[in-house]
């Protein structure tokens, strides 16, 4: 019985440590609201079959699921392996959706990317905008950013709906 509690305690400590460590690399895990996502994908940006969405820091996969329901293909990028596992289980019956375990600041976007979703933090949002602009320049077309809760400093959003902001990055009017 003692061995059970020892192993149980060790697992809890490892899980807590993982969530703590990933909070240091960026925004901590807080899921977006499913109903607000539904509004964002209809009233802010009409997400559809034409779209390939990347969720930067995809958490438990709630955004990927909502995007897929609108017909978009979706890729989640998540640094916390436990959340990646949870997403894989949650979305096992969905095609056109995948999730990878890595730091999104070190990745290249697929060429078909049309829209990025981010629920980051105030510290990271401008770095995320810079990353998207660079990737848009590489793939040769602008990319929309839907940002939950955080505005890009020094840039006016094209549109706002409740907590979500819409930006078009990497177009002709961008550097």
Ligand X SMILES: C[S@@+](CC[C@H](N)C(=O)[O-])C[C@H]1O[C@@H](n2cnc3c(N)ncnc32)[C@H](O)[C@@H]1O
Task: Report the DSSP beta bridge partners of residue 10.
Answer: none
What is the smallest separation between the CB atom of 21 and ligand X, expressed in angstroms?
Answer: 9
Instruction: Output the six-digit token pair for 53.
Output: 């969405």
Interface positions, 115-174, toward ligand X (CB under 6 A): 119, 148
Single out the residue of 41, 104, 165, 167 in contact with ligand X (rule: CB under 6 A): 104
Q: Identify which of 122, 161, 168, 166 has the alpha carbon closest to the alpha carbon of residue 33.
A: 161
Q: Is 26 among the residues that bind ligand X (CB under 6 A)?
A: yes
Cβ pair 74, 52 in contact under 8 A: yes
By the rule CB under 6 A, 75 interacts with ligand X: no
Interface with ligand X, residue 68, by CB under 6 A = no
Q: Identify the CA nearest to 170 among candidates 113, 123, 121.
A: 113
Pick the binder of ligand X from 41, 44, 55, 74 (CB under 6 A): 55
Is residue 22 involved in binding ligand X (CB under 6 A)? yes
What tokens appear for 146 in the block? 């839907």
- Between 31 and 96, whose beta carbon lies closer to ligand X? 31
CB of 61 to ligand X, least distance (A): 8
Q: Which residues contact 101 (CB under 8 A, 6 or more apart)?
A: 78, 79, 80, 81, 84
Task: Name the packing angle between helices 81-90 and 2-25 (round to 10°).
Answer: 100
Interface positions with ligand X (CB under 6 A): 22, 25-27, 29-32, 55, 57-59, 62-63, 77-80, 83, 103-105, 119, 148
């Amino acid at each position: 019985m003692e061995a059970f509690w020892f192993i149980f305690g060790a697992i809890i400590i490892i899980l807590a440590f993982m969530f703590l460590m990933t909070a240091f690399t960026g925004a901590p895990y807080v899921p977006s609201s499913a109903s607000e996502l539904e509004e964002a994908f209809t009233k802010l940006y009409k997400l559809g079959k034409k779209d390939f969405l990347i969720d930067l820091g995809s958490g438990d996969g709630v955004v990927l699921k909502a995007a897929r329901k609108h017909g978009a293909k979706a890729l989640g990028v998540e640094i916390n392996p436990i959340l990646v596992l949870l997403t894989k289980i949650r979305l096992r019956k969905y095609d056109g959706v995948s999730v990878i375990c890595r730091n999104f600041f070190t990745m290249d976007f697929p060429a078909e990317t049309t829209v990025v979703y981010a629920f980051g933090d105030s510290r990271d949002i401008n770095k995320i905008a810079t990353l998207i602009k660079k990737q848009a320049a590489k793939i040769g077309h602008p990319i929309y950013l839907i940002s939950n809760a955080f505005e890009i400093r020094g840039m006016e959003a094209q549109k706002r709906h409740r907590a979500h902001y819409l930006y078009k990055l990497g177009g002709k009017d961008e550097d």
